[in-house]
Structure 1
Amino acid sequence: MKKAYYQHRFLKEVARLLSEAELKAGVTARMVKIAYETSVPDKDDKGTTRVDYLQARNFHSEIKSKLIDADKALESAEIALKYVVGVNIDQPLRLQDIPLDSMPIAPIESKGMKEAALERNADLKTLNLGIKFYDSRQRLAKKEYLPKIGIQGQYVGPEDRFGVKNSWFVGIGLNMTLFDGFSTKAKVAQSQIQLEKIKDQGILLEKAISAQISALHKTLSGLTEKMEVLRGAIEETNERVNLAAEGYSAGLIEYEKLLSAQKTEIEMKLARLQCLVFYHTMKSEIELLSGAM
Structure 2
Amino acid sequence: MKIYFAAILALIMLRSEVYAQEQAPPQEVLQLNLRETLEFALENNVDAKNARLEILVSETTIKEETSIGLPQINGSYGFTYNPMVPVMFVPNEGPFADPNNPSDVIPLRFGVAYSSNLGVTVSQMIFDGSFFIGLRAAKTYKALTEYDRVKVENDVIENVKKAYFGVLVNAERIKLSESNLSRIDSLLQETTALYEAGFSEKIDVSRIKVQRNNTYSQYERSRTAYEISKQLLKVQMGLPEEYDIVITETLRELNPEDELNALLALEGQHRVEMDQLNTNIELTGLDLKNNTSQYMPTLDFNGSFTRSGAGDSFGTTFESINWFSSSMVGISLNIPIFDGLSKSARIQRNRLQLRQLENQKFYLDQNIDLEIFQAKQNLSNDLKVLKVQRESMDLAQEVYDMSKIKYNEGVGSNFEVVEADSDLIEAEINFLSALYDGLISKVDLEKALGIIHDGLDKPALPNK
TM beyond 0.5? yes
Could you tell me which amino acid in structure 2 is paired with residue 249 of structure 1?
A: N
TM normalised by structure 1 equals: 0.75
Q: Distance in 1 between matches of 2:397 and 2:229?
A: 30
Could you tell me which amino acid in structure 1 is paired with residue 410 of structure 2?
A: G
**Once the 2 structures are TM-superposed, how far is the Cα of residue 182 of structure 1 from its aligned partner?**
8.3
Question: What residue in structure 2 maps to residue 265 of structure 1?
Answer: 424
Percent identical among aligned pairs is 18
Native 8 Å contact 2:443 2:452 kept in 1: no
**Once the 2 structures are TM-superposed, how far is the Cα of residue 209 of structure 1 from its aligned partner?**
2.6
Q: Against the structure 1 CA distance between its residues 191 and 239, is the aligned structure 2 distance closer, same or farther, given a 3 Å change threshold?
A: same
Native 8 Å contact 1:216 1:286 kept in 2: yes
Q: Distance in 1 between matches of 2:430 and 2:202?
A: 32
Q: Distance in 2 between matches of 1:142 and 1:288?
A: 40
Q: Against the structure 1 CA distance between its residues 88 and 50, is the aligned structure 2 distance closer, same or farther, given a 3 Å change threshold?
A: same
Deviation per residue, 1:117-168 (Å, 9 max, x gap): xx123x32111112234446667888999x99xxxxxxxxxxxxxxxxxxxx
Question: What residue in structure 2 maps to residue 229 of structure 1?
Answer: 388
Counterpart secondary structure, 1:253: coil
The answer on 1:129 being equivalent to 2:279 is: yes
Q: 1:2-151 maps to which residues of 2 (within 5 A)?
A: 2-40=161-199, 48-100=200-252, 103-105=255-257, 106-107=260-261, 108-109=263-264, 112=267, 115-116=268-269, 119-121=270-272, 123-135=273-285
The answer on 1:194 being equivalent to 2:353 is: yes
Q: Distance in 1 between matches of 2:274 and 2:402?
A: 58
Q: Against the structure 1 CA distance between its residues 86 and 189, is the aligned structure 2 distance closer, same or farther, given a 3 Å change threshold?
A: closer
Counterpart secondary structure, 1:93: strand
Native 8 Å contact 1:134 1:195 kept in 2: yes
Q: Against the structure 1 CA distance between its residues 77 and 190, is the aligned structure 2 distance closer, same or farther, given a 3 Å change threshold?
A: closer
Question: What residue in structure 2 maps to residue 175 of structure 1?
Answer: none
Q: Against the structure 1 CA distance between its residues 88 and 136, is the aligned structure 2 distance closer, same or farther, given a 3 Å change threshold?
A: closer
Native 8 Å contact 1:124 1:202 kept in 2: yes
**Once the 2 structures are TM-superposed, how far is the Cα of residue 11 of structure 1 from its aligned partner?**
0.7
Native 8 Å contact 1:9 1:100 kept in 2: no
Q: Distance in 1 between matches of 2:345 and 2:392?
A: 70
Q: Distance in 2 between matches of 1:284 and 1:203?
A: 25
Question: What residue in structure 1 maps to residue 73 of structure 2?
Answer: none
TM normalised by structure 2 equals: 0.49
The answer on 1:292 being equivalent to 2:292 is: no
**Once the 2 structures are TM-superposed, how far is the Cα of residue 23 of structure 1 from its aligned partner?**
0.4
Could you tell me which amino acid in structure 1 is paired with residue 248 of structure 2?
A: Q
- Determine which structure has the larger helix proportion and give its number: 1
Q: Distance in 1 between matches of 2:186 and 2:274?
A: 59
Which shows bigger deviation, 180-189 or 231-240? 180-189
Q: Distance in 1 between matches of 2:254 and 2:279?
A: 42
Native 8 Å contact 2:195 2:202 kept in 1: yes
Q: Against the structure 1 CA distance between its residues 196 and 240, is the aligned structure 2 distance closer, same or farther, given a 3 Å change threshold?
A: same
Structure 2: where are the runs of 5+ without partners?
Answer: 1-159, 298-337, 454-464
Give the length in aligned residue pairs: 252
Deviation per residue, 1:5-36 (Å, 9 max, x gap): 11111111101100000000000111111222
Q: Against the structure 1 CA distance between its residues 132 and 240, is the aligned structure 2 distance closer, same or farther, given a 3 Å change threshold?
A: same
Native 8 Å contact 1:244 1:253 kept in 2: yes
Q: 1:217-256 maps to which residues of 2 (within 5 A)?
A: 217-256=376-415
Counterpart secondary structure, 1:92: strand
**Once the 2 structures are TM-superposed, how far is the Cα of residue 193 of structure 1 from its aligned partner?**
2.1
Native 8 Å contact 1:110 1:214 kept in 2: no
- Determine which structure has the larger strand proportion and give its number: 2
Could you tell me which amino acid in structure 1 is paired with residue 264 of structure 2?
A: E
Q: Distance in 1 between matches of 2:423 and 2:343?
A: 76
Q: Distance in 2 between matches of 1:249 and 1:111?
A: 53
Asked which structure has the greater CA Rg, the reply is: 2
Could you tell me which amino acid in structure 1 is paired with residue 168 of structure 2?
A: R
**Once the 2 structures are TM-superposed, how far is the Cα of residue 185 of structure 1 from its aligned partner?**
7.2
